[in-house]
A and B are shown apart, each in its own frame.
Chain A
Amino acid sequence: MGERLLVEGNDAVGYGAVEAGCDCYFGYPITPQNEIIEWFSRELPKRGGVVLQAQSETGAINMVQGAAATGARVIITTSGPGWSLMQEGMSNIATAQVPCVVVSVQRGGPGTGGMRQVQMDYDTTVKGGGHGDYKNIVLAPSSVQETYELVQLAFHLADKYRIAVVVLSDALIGQMMESLELKKLDFGPLPPKDDWVVTGKAYHKDGVKHMSLIVQGVPDSPYPTWLSFVKHLNDKFEEIEKNEVRYEAVALEDAALVIIAFGYMARISKGAIKTLRAQGLKVGLIRPITLWPFPKEVIRKVAEQGVDFLVVEDNIGQMIDDVKATLYGHGQKEIHLLSILDRSGTADGALIVPRRIVEECQRILEGGK
């Protein structure tokens, strides 16, 4: 068993990154993720890494693009308004195909919004917030331990597919203290970076110049036309959808109602399911860990059992669109929603509490059958 620490989710990002051999951190202060930039500023230089506080999130994401083009393992962290500023960079990174890890610790919006927990940036991360046809791999932790582990996985997937991987945390997971067991995860071998890194011609094995481009189908691009590059991206996204779906399933075997929730709302839903099961109500849970690629297969499989669905998310309803799209043509089951408007109170820190989820499940099961 590895060393145990009592840390915040935001600190777990740092521990996970250094476990994965992170070389560079770029960022800009914004609540509620300041603990992360402070952690890296304190800890990464000691380990021989590079830390730079940029003049803006726009600057920071472009520094990430440059550093990642050298083959370094690079991470950047932010929250809502900063995430908005980074979208131009995310689009360019998708074309340059430089691997990097982004941690977005969600806060309320739109605009400056609030600084407490929400799940409002599902769409901008999962659908890609910048211009053009591209996808980000999105990993959604629901605990401090999982934040640490998914950050390690994020570095692996980024290198495996030459893609930006977003770890979608939030103010609750980020600022909550929990026990963390340190253990380096091994995800297997990765393709070499020698054939594309931009490090100076003398440092390449092939001895020829390398270019990192945000435009493709130009001279010396590996893709003869822009459309052939679009096809390449599509092939890559299909491969990721085939290989990298991750989810947690709870009590699906006999379920009559399945809750679909991610992050902290999945964790709160688990508490509600315990209560419901004690009452003899057959409720299960699917917790997408990869928000993209979305776990479509398992949702369609339980749909065949004839279950109803309840989507629980702390926003006005974003993931529910993916659930609806997943189930299109796979039966006519009801898809219910518990949203941010079902919170227990009006304070910024209010939540959709387990009792509310229990009541909703009882209503669906008793009213519907």
Chain B
Amino acid sequence: MSQTEEKRVWVSGTPRLWRYYAIAARQCAGCHSPIVERIICEVVEEMGIEGNVICVTGIGCSALANFLFDFDSLKVAHGRPVDVATGVKRALHGRGVVFTLQGDGDCVGIGGGALIAAASRAEKITVIMANNAVYGQTAGQMAPTTLLNQVTTTSPLGRDPGIQGYPIHAAELVASIKGSAYSVRTAVNNPTNYQRTKKCLKVAFQKQMDNVGFSFVEILEACPTLWRMSPIESLQWLENELMAEFPLGEFKNVDKI
């Protein structure tokens, strides 16, 4: 038993695989990351794959999930989860259900090349990308997904397309790649979208379990702290601004490539 084992608490009413540590639960009030972690746990439990599932996180707020998930995981370098997940899946000769949990900067900033390469190889893994339009763990710098005119600590006058270019649309990008089997964008801002995200994640896992190809789930997440908003305001901004730039939807879903 590790030294933190005795501090592990299962909070009644939460998924069995989602273990709460006071020390690891560092997300801010109103953050959507714990909601996504909870969805992942529910999906893993409902699909009965907890013994075979392996999560790979990078660096970012989402990377705290290792300590909460009660199944196998790796925490690796910023931008590298897709490559590490590839190594895990290949070394297991395709046996595991391997997914990454990454932020937007991790996934399409520093890790963009790896994402395109893995999708092109039709790597049988699932990438879950949290898109909150900002760098969270480093406290509010511009992300590849930052909206035009959005103020961040490294775009203090607002993102100017002439200087900092345009936000990247990851789900559409992955859908355009031959080796991808499934690519969606969802959100967790209300119960309907919560259930929809859960359904999408099940489809994504099923694509790799059926050996079809690469699957990608982009999830819009609120970051009240770094958007400098109240949780309620941040939900409104997510619905009015973020969803306008990043429409929810299924961009690809094929059973055979």
A, B from the same assembly: yes
A positions within 8 Å CB-CB of B: 23-24, 26, 50, 52, 54-56, 58-60, 62-70, 72, 74, 88-89, 92, 96, 198-203, 209-215, 218-222, 224
Query: In whole angstroms, what is the CA distance A222 to B3 when docked?
Result: 8
Contact partner of A209 among B72, B95, B96, CB < 8 A?
A: B72
* CB proximity of B43 to chain A, nearest CB, Å: 16
Query: In whole angstroms, what is the CA distance A212 to B83 when docked?
Result: 15
Neighbouring A residues of B80 by C-beta, 8 Å: 58, 62, 65, 89, 92
Q: Which among A26, A60, A209 has the greatest number of chain B C-beta atoms within 10 A?
A: A209
* CB proximity of B22 to chain A, nearest CB, Å: 10
Report 7 cross-chain contacts, Cβ distance below 8 Å, ordered by A residue: A55-B117, A59-B113, A62-B77, A66-B87, A67-B87, A67-B90, A70-B88
In the complex, whether B66 has a CB less than 8 A from a CB of chain A is yes
Interface size bucket, B side?
35 or more
Q: A56-B113, A59-B86, A214-B77 are in contact. List 7 more A-B contacts (CB 8 A).
A: A52-B86, A55-B113, A65-B84, A65-B87, A209-B71, A211-B74, A213-B75
Query: In whole angstroms, what is the CA distance A70 to B74 when docked?
Result: 10
In the complex, whether B23 has a CB less than 8 A from a CB of chain A is yes
Contact partner of B67 among A55, A66, A96, A220, CB < 8 A?
A: A220
Neighbouring B residues of A219 by C-beta, 8 Å: 2, 4, 7, 21, 23-24, 67
In the complex, whether B253 has a CB less than 8 A from a CB of chain A is no
Count A-B pairs with CB separation below 8 Å: 143
Neighbouring A residues of B90 by C-beta, 8 Å: 24, 50, 52, 63, 67
In the complex, whether B250 has a CB less than 8 A from a CB of chain A is no
Q: Mark B82-119, 1 if CB is under 8 A from A, else 0.
A: 01111111111101100000000000000001101100
Report yes or no: A54 in contact with B72, Cβ–Cβ below 8 A: no
Main secondary structure of the interface of A (DSSP, over half): mixed
In the complex, whether B153 has a CB less than 8 A from a CB of chain A is no
* CB proximity of B87 to chain A, nearest CB, Å: 3
Contact partner of B114 among A59, A96, A220, CB < 8 A?
A: A59
* CB proximity of B124 to chain A, nearest CB, Å: 13
Report yes or no: A70 in contact with B70, Cβ–Cβ below 8 A: no
Neighbouring A residues of B87 by C-beta, 8 Å: 24, 26, 62-69, 74
Report yes or no: A88 in contact with B77, Cβ–Cβ below 8 A: yes
* CB proximity of B248 to chain A, nearest CB, Å: 30
Query: In whole angstroms, what is the CA distance A311 to B116 when docked?
Result: 48
Listed from nearest, the 8 A-B pairs whose CB atoms lie closest are A202-B51, A66-B87, A62-B83, A63-B87, A55-B117, A67-B91, A66-B84, A67-B87
Query: In whole angstroms, what is the CA distance A59 to B115 when docked?
Result: 10
In the complex, whether B52 has a CB less than 8 A from a CB of chain A is yes
Report yes or no: B84 in contact with A211, Cβ–Cβ below 8 A: no
* CB proximity of B63 to chain A, nearest CB, Å: 9
Report yes or no: B66 in contact with A213, Cβ–Cβ below 8 A: yes
Report yes or no: A63 in contact with B83, Cβ–Cβ below 8 A: yes
* CB proximity of B79 to chain A, nearest CB, Å: 9
In the complex, whether B172 has a CB less than 8 A from a CB of chain A is no
